[in-house]
Every structure is written in C-alpha cells, then in structure tokens.
C-alpha cells in the first residue's frame, strides 16, 4: 500500500455548461427537452392534459426532425439491398413491397409507437431506461448501493403487487440467483453495444446512399468519387458535434417534413404514372407467393427488407424529447403514409424498369426536380445521422452513470437543455470507425447487411426486456404477455435467421464492434463491482472509531477533509489507511459518496442526504449526493457549495433533537420539498417542529459522549440551549471551512490473484488496468483543484 500526494498536471473542465448557478430546475426541466423553451412548457402542459390540439400538433411537427430522420431515409437503399443481384421476376417486386408494408405495420407502428413507447421511464426511452424501470421494481442491480431513503424520491416511481401475484413470482425468480442478474445486465449491454454500432453504421449507409445520387446523373463518375464525397460529409458532421444542435436544431423538423412530403408525393406520382397494380401488395397472399417462388434467396432477401424498419431504436432512445402522443401522431399522420407511398412508388417504377434496382430511388425521381430532391436527401441523411449520434451519446452517458462504461468527458452543449450532450472521445472513435466502414466497403449492400444485423439484435433485446416490463411494471395478464412475445419473436427471429446468412457479407462488422465494446463495458463493470465489494468488506467498524476518542488518536488540524468513497454507509477503509500513515486529520471530516440511482433525474432539492457519524464532538459527517442517469455534474463550484449548505442545514435540524446518531437514517434535508426548504431557511433561524422527525433514531446509536474540547471548538455546557449549540457548531464549521478544504480520494488498484485463471488475469491486470489508466480521474470529474487534492493509494487482489 502506498500514500501519495496527487499532483495532476492540469485540470479539465467536466461539462461546458454555464446554466443558472444556484437555480432550482423544475422536475420536468431535468428531462431531455424539445427544441426550444416554449416546447418545454408545452410538454409540462401536456402532462397536465390541458393543451390545445394546435400545440400538440406543433410538438408532433418538431418530433419529425429528432425522432424519425433515420426511419425516413430508408427508401434510399432498401430495394437495392433486397435485390443485390437484380430482379428476376416482376412479381418479386410485389412480394417485397408486401413484406415492407407489413413489416412497417407490425414493428414500428404496432410494437414500438403504440406499445414500447409506453414503457418509458418518466419520458426517457432506450435500453437503459427499461433496465432502470426493472431495477426499481426488482432488486436486480449488481452493485448493491441502494438505501431505503432512495425509494422516497419523487422520481422513484414504482408499483406494488400482491405477494402471490405472477409479478411477485417473477420478481423472486429474478432475484434468487446472481447469475440471472448478470444475464440481465449482459442482455442490456448487448443492446447498448448494438446501438453504438447503429451510431457507426447509420451515418455510413445514409450519407453514402444519398451521395450516390451524384453518379446517377453522371454515370461515368467513379465510385471512388462518391465515397470521397461521403467521407468529406461524415468528417464535417462529426467535426461539428461539439457545437451541439441547439442553434441548428430548429432546421431539422422542416427538412425532414419536406423530405417526407417529397418522397410521398414522388411515390404517388410514380404509382399513377407506371403501375397502379402495385397496390395489390396490401394483400398478404403475395408474401406467401414470394417465399414459395424465391426459396432460400427469397428468405435471405429479408435482410434487405428489414432495412425498411431501421431507426426504430433511435425513435425509442430519442423519445425523451417529446410526449408519446405527439410521437404517435407524427408517425400515423405523416411518417407511415409517406413511407408506404414512397415504397409503393419505387415498386411501381421497378415493375417497368427492373434493371434500375441499384439506384431505384434516384432513378424514379422526375428529372425536373432531381437536384432539389438530391439536396434534400443529403440534408435528411445528415439529420438522420445526427439523431443516431445523439442517441449514442445519450446511451453511453446512461451506461457511464450506472457504472458500465469507463469515465469519459461529457460536455453539455446547450445553455438551456440538459439532454444535449457531447462526448469528445466517443465522437472521434465513432468518426474513425464510420469512415473505415464507408471507405472499406464502398458498397451499400455490405453496409446494409451489417446495419441489418445490428438492428435486429437490438429489437430482440428490447422484446426480451419488454416481457419483464409487462410482467413487473405493467402487471399485464400472462396471456397478453404471451401474445406480445409470440408475435414479436416470430417476426424478429425470422429476420434474425435471414441476416445470419449474410454474416460473411458484411454482417460480421457490428458483431465485432459490439464484442469489443461489450468486453470493455463488462470488464469495467466487473472492476467497479469488485472495488465496491472490497470497500464494503473492509470498512471500519464504529467501535474502532469510538475507541479512538474525539481526537481519533491524532492531532486535529484546522480545516475540513472531504473523503470521497463509494460507500453510502460505514467508514471506508481508506480512512483507516490514511490515519494509520499520517499523524494528523482535519477538525471536520465529511465522507462524500456520489452515487447514481436507477432514475432519470434527482431533483436539486432532494440531491443531498446528510447524517452524523459518531458523537457530536467527533465532527464526522456523511454526505450522499444522488444523481439520475440523465443528470450532469456542473463545471462550477455549486457541488461543494451545496454540500456545505446541506451540512449547515443538517446541523440546524439536528439541534432540535437530543443526543446524537450514527443511524442509517439520513437528514430530512434530502426529502424536503423546495417550499419546505425555503420556509426553513427564511424562518429567521427558528426551526419549527413541523420539520422535526422524532423517528430519526439509530441502528448503531451512540450515546452522546461529553468530552473535553479540542482546538477552536466551544464545548457545550449543561446550561446551553440547543440553539446556542447550533450556533457554536455552525461557527466552528465556518471557521474550519475558512481554514481550508482538502479533498481526499482513494486511488485503489485492482489486481488479479496469482492463482487466478488466465482470462481473469487478462481482464483485470491488462484490460481493466488500461481502461483505468486512460479514463478520467475522479478529481477531474468533480473539478477538484490539484493543490487541494490528496490521493490515498491502496492495492487489493480479486
């Protein structure tokens, strides 16, 4: 074990956010919000169900640019990926169109828009939102840092069920064995990794397909030129990410709406001009004839058909921007009919021009509007790529908050909306991989095969998680669950079997990408879990602390020591290691635990929980700062300021009660409403009994010990009132704060035991150690000045 002073060369800023120091955000403002402030107000109004139809339509209009860009650009490449070797029979076009129609109806329309979108976590969508819902309704989190006070948060919504119900039996089945919890976590991580793969493949295929329009009007142009144009657009797209979408986001909805109207109008024109007979594809009989005629080739062509429903996971992940009803209206009124017209129009064109299947979309455009449509198509492809990249950043942030991703820099790009974030490291990794895929394949068909593999696996993961959500959260009847599961798995497993035939034709790309990220995420989570277990098992007993006496057997120097720990209860091992190696400790010691909960946000007024450790004259406290997976640390000094505000408020509350406590019950501060807090602070120093909680007792209660005073501390005499004691201790805390604040952090090194298996040694000694070395330090994340940082090093073996 070692003890070292942490001297960092520079301190980076965590988030580029300069919004509203000290202001209190409303609960709904914590969410990812619509594109402007008025839309945010509309969303709150929506939740109260007091809005006009006109305002709801405005939200539906805005949702087009954020939610449906990816799904809307699929007509650029679906028919080519369905018939990469050409069309042999015109009837195959009818069969493929029928498959597209029913795929759009069953998956995006019925499953996602009307069922899955309802499984949101207070408006938040995505794989981790479903996981957070499950974590609140069953004890399935692998890191056991929950506390019963967490369940009292206003955002910690959960339903209860009868012990003999099917939901209760499912809950007990999940909780019984640790490997089931790990299996659920791995399932969520697989879905997350595939979404990251979408973030790489969507820009590649969308931009490359849109750029291919250049070659249609100039047939002699080399394919390399199209690839170079696509790469230039991609580099520009990823290079602009750090500016965020706040300033140009208002353009997204008009662009996408114009795109849908264009493809719908062109499709209607082509149906009228070429062949109205394609409308018979609405009969499912042609699906049967297509498979009977095509055999294995017809079956494998499902990999191309499935590209017509890509973008549905981005739809669910970006759900937080808008109310579900607005998303449903946008899909049923604009997206769904325009897509049906677009595909039907292309099919009508191909009935008479089978040889143009390679670039069916651009060939079917009337010549007079070709270049305007090309420009809009390129803009729509950029918008679709932006939506997927934003969804990727969002889900990585959620994974990071739940301890499943290495600590990376998260930049807040908007002064108004907390949901708009940018992750520099991941942005450049995504760009490099995206360019490699685009330049390496130079072929829409192979990229389409890769894209299809990623999408179908994400759909399967969502279906499996939805089964648990329907049982535990919605408490649906098992017959409804079986009906949903059966229909979903029949369709998705059919598509999955088709993409397996194309693994060697580009489908291996997302599997390799997902495998790499899965290893990184699981190894990081494993190391995080082992570090937490080490702290739990080696924490210091209160008997040992009390036995040291008020001075802790050391010289108590003026100042406040903030000891950072992952423990929400108990004294961490690094504290005993620290006082064993140094003969002095600060007059006030505060154990600070920053933990993330399976909720989307924690309101500011419920952020901090404070309790006292040991007798009053020990001057030891614990402060737990709680965050949701959407919350961001600010770059300013609000964290430290609010921590001390909560500490002083705790002292004022505690002065009402006799004795002292080392209970697992925290101060009421964390559960006060904003109104209560203001009333308490503005009460001229008098705390009314309405804020007192006589039930704050002790599990490890310690009777108050009256001992001699130590430096700079005024001892309470038997004749003093509680208010005098409060003033004395607050003055003492202020003096210590003025003397200086030192941040003490544990630098725990994890090593595999010598007798461990070789794969464990590789995972812990090499992969996890490398990730720890390149990830951000906690001191940078908490914006700790390097001159007041003290690192306490220790090594443990797993």
Mean pLDDT across 527-552 = 80
Mean pLDDT across 82-109 = 91
Higher-pLDDT residue of 190 and 440 is 190
- Residue 656's pLDDT is 67
Please state, rounded to an integer, the average pLDDT across all residues of the chain.
Answer: 78
- Residue 21's pLDDT is 34
- Residue 718's pLDDT is 36
- Residue 215's pLDDT is 79
Separation of alpha carbons 643 and 731, rounded Å = 17
- Residue 677's pLDDT is 39
pLDDT at 568 over 50: yes
Separation of alpha carbons 297 and 82, rounded Å = 10
Higher-pLDDT residue of 679 and 433 is 433
Among 175-179, 358-362, 460-464, 674-678, the minimum mean pLDDT is found in 674-678
pLDDT band at residue 798, thresholds of 50, 70 and 90? confident
Mean pLDDT across 622-646 = 78
Q: Which of 2-6, 270-274, 716-720 has the highest mean pLDDT?
A: 270-274
pLDDT at 441 over 90: no
Mean pLDDT across 739-747 = 85
First to last CA, the chain: 15
pLDDT at 440 over 60: yes
pLDDT at 50 over 50: no
Report the SS3 class of residue 303.
helix
- Residue 247's pLDDT is 63
- Residue 435's pLDDT is 92
- Residue 296's pLDDT is 84
Residue pLDDT, tens place only, 280-293: 999 999 999 999 98
pLDDT at 51 over 80: no
pLDDT band at residue 265, thresholds of 50, 70 and 90? very high
pLDDT at 660 over 80: no
Any residues with CB less than 8 A from the CB of 283 and at least 6 apart, and which? 98
- Residue 712's pLDDT is 36
Among 40-54, 55-69, 74-88, 138-152, the minimum mean pLDDT is found in 40-54
- Residue 651's pLDDT is 85
Q: Are strands 789-797 and 2-4 parallel, antiparallel or unpaired?
A: antiparallel
User: Which DSSP state fits 124?
Assistant: B
Residue pLDDT, tens place only, 371-421: 999 999 999 999 888 888 888 888 888 888 888 899 888 887 766 666 678
Which pTM does this prediction carry?
0.80
Any residues with CB less than 8 A from the CB of 35 and at least 6 apart, and which? 62, 65, 66, 249, 250, 252, 253, 321
Separation of alpha carbons 33 and 420, rounded Å = 9
Residue pLDDT, tens place only, 442-486: 677 788 888 888 889 999 999 999 999 999 988 888 899 999 999
pLDDT at 349 over 70: yes
Separation of alpha carbons 80 and 216, rounded Å = 14
HEC secondary structure over 669-721: HHHCCHHHHHHHHCCCCCCCHHHCCCCCCCCCCCCCCCCCCCCCCCCCCCCCC
pLDDT at 151 over 50: yes
- Residue 637's pLDDT is 54
Token match 């004839």: residue? 289
Mean pLDDT across 553-563 = 85
Mean pLDDT across 11-23 = 33
Separation of alpha carbons 793 and 748, rounded Å = 6
Any residues with CB less than 8 A from the CB of 250 and at least 6 apart, and which? 35, 36
- Residue 710's pLDDT is 36
What pairs with residue 540 in β-bridges? Answer: 571
Mean pLDDT across 760-771 = 90
Mean pLDDT across 330-348 = 94
- Residue 11's pLDDT is 27
- Residue 726's pLDDT is 59
Percent of all residues in the chain with a pLDDT value above 90, rounded to a whole number: 24
pLDDT band at residue 25, thresholds of 50, 70 and 90? very low
């Amino acid at each position: 074990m070692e003890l070292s002073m942490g001297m960092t060369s520079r301190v980076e800023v965590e988030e580029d956010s300069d919004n509203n120091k000290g202001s209190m955000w409303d609960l709904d403002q914590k969410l990812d919000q619509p594109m402007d402030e008025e839309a945010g107000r509309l969303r709150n109004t929506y939740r109260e169900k007091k809005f006009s139809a006109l305002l709801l339509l405005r939200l539906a209009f805005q949702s087009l640019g954020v939610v449906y860009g990816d799904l809307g650009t699929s007509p650029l490449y679906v028919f080519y990926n369905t018939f990469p070797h050409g069309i042999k029979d015109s009837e195959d076009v009818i069969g493929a169109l029928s498959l597209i129609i029913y795929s759009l109806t069953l998956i995006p329309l019925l499953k996602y828009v009307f069922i899955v979108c309802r499984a949101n976590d207070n408006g938040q969508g995505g794989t981790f939102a479903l996981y957070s819902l499950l974590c609140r309704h069953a004890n399935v989190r692998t890191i056991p840092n929950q506390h019963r006070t967490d369940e009292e948060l206003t955002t910690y919504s959960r339903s209860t069920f009868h012990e003999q119900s099917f939901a209760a039996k499912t809950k007990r089945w999940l909780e019984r064995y640790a490997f089931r919890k790990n299996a659920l976590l791995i399932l969520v991580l697989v879905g997350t990794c595939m979404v990251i793969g979408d973030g790489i493949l969507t820009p590649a295929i969308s931009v490359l397909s849109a750029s291919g329009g250049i070659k249609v009007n100039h047939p002699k142009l080399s394919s390399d030129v199209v690839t170079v144009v696509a790469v230039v657009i991609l580099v520009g797209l990823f290079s602009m990410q750090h500016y965020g979408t706040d300033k140009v986001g208002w353009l997204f909805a008009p662009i996408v709406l114009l795109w849908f109207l264009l493809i719908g109008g062109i499709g209607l024109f082509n149906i009228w001009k070429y062949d109205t007979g394609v409308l018979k594809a609405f009969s499912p009989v042609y699906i049967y004839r297509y498979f009977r005629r095509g055999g294995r080739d017809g079956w494998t062509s499902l990999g191309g058909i499935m590209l017509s429903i890509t973008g549905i996971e981005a739809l669910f992940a970006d759900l937080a921007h808008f109310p579900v009803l607005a998303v449903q209206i946008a899909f049923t009124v604009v997206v769904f009919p325009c897509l049906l017209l677009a595909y039907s129009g292309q099919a009508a064109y191909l009935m008479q021009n089978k040889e143009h299947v390679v670039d069916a979309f651009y060939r079917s455009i009337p010549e007079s509007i070709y270049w305007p449509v090309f420009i809009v198509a390129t803009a729509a492809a950029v918008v679709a790529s932006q939506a997927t990249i934003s969804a990727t950043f969002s889900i990585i942030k959620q994974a990071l908050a739940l301890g499943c991703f290495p600590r990376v820099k998260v930049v807040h790009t908007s002064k108004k909306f907390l949901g708009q974030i940018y992750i520099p490291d991941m942005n450049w990794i995504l760009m490099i991989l995206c360019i490699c895929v685009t330049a390496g394949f130079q072929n829409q068909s192979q990229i389409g095969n890769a894209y299809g593999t990623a999408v179908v696996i994400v759909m399967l993961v969502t279906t499996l998680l939805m089964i648990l959500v329907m049982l535990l959260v919605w408490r649906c009847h098992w017959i409804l669950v079986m009906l949903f599961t059966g229909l979903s798995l029949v369709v998705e497993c059919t598509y999955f079997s088709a993409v397996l035939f194309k693994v060697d034709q580009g489908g291996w790309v997302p599997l390799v990408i997902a495998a790499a990220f899965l290893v990184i995420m699981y190894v990081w989570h494993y190391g995080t879990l082992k570090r937490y277990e080490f702290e739990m098992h080696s924490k210091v007993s209160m008997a040992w602390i009390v036995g040291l006496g008020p001075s802790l057997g050391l010289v108590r120097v003026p100042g406040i020591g903030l000891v950072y720990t992952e423990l929400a209860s108990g004294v961490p091992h690094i504290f005993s290691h620290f006082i064993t190696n140094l003969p002095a400790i600060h007059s006030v010691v505060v154990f600070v635990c920053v933990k993330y909960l399976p909720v989307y946000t924690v309101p500011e007024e419920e952020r901090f929980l404070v309790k006292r450790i040991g007798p009053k004259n020990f001057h030891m406290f614990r402060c737990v700062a709680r965050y949701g997976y959407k919350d961001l640390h600010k770059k300013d000094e609000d964290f430290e300021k609010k921590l001390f505000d909560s500490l002083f408020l705790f002292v004022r509350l505690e002065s009402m009660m006799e004795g002292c406590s080392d209970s697992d019950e925290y101060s009421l501060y964390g559960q006060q409403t904003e109104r209560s807090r203001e009333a308490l602070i503005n009460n001229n120093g008098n705390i009314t009994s309405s804020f007192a909680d006589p039930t704050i007792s002790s599990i490890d209660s310690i009777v108050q010990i009256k001992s001699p005073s130590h430096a700079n501390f005024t001892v309470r005499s038997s004749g003093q009132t509680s208010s005098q004691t409060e003033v004395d201790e607050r003055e003492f805390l202020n003096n210590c704060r003025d003397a200086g604040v030192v941040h003490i952090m544990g630098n725990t090194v994890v090593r595999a035991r010598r007798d461990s298996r070789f794969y464990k040694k590789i995972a812990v000694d090499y992969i996890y150690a490398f990730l720890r070395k390149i990830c951000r330090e906690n001191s940078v994340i908490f914006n700790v000045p390097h001159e007041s940082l003290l690192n306490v090093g220790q090594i443990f073996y797993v």
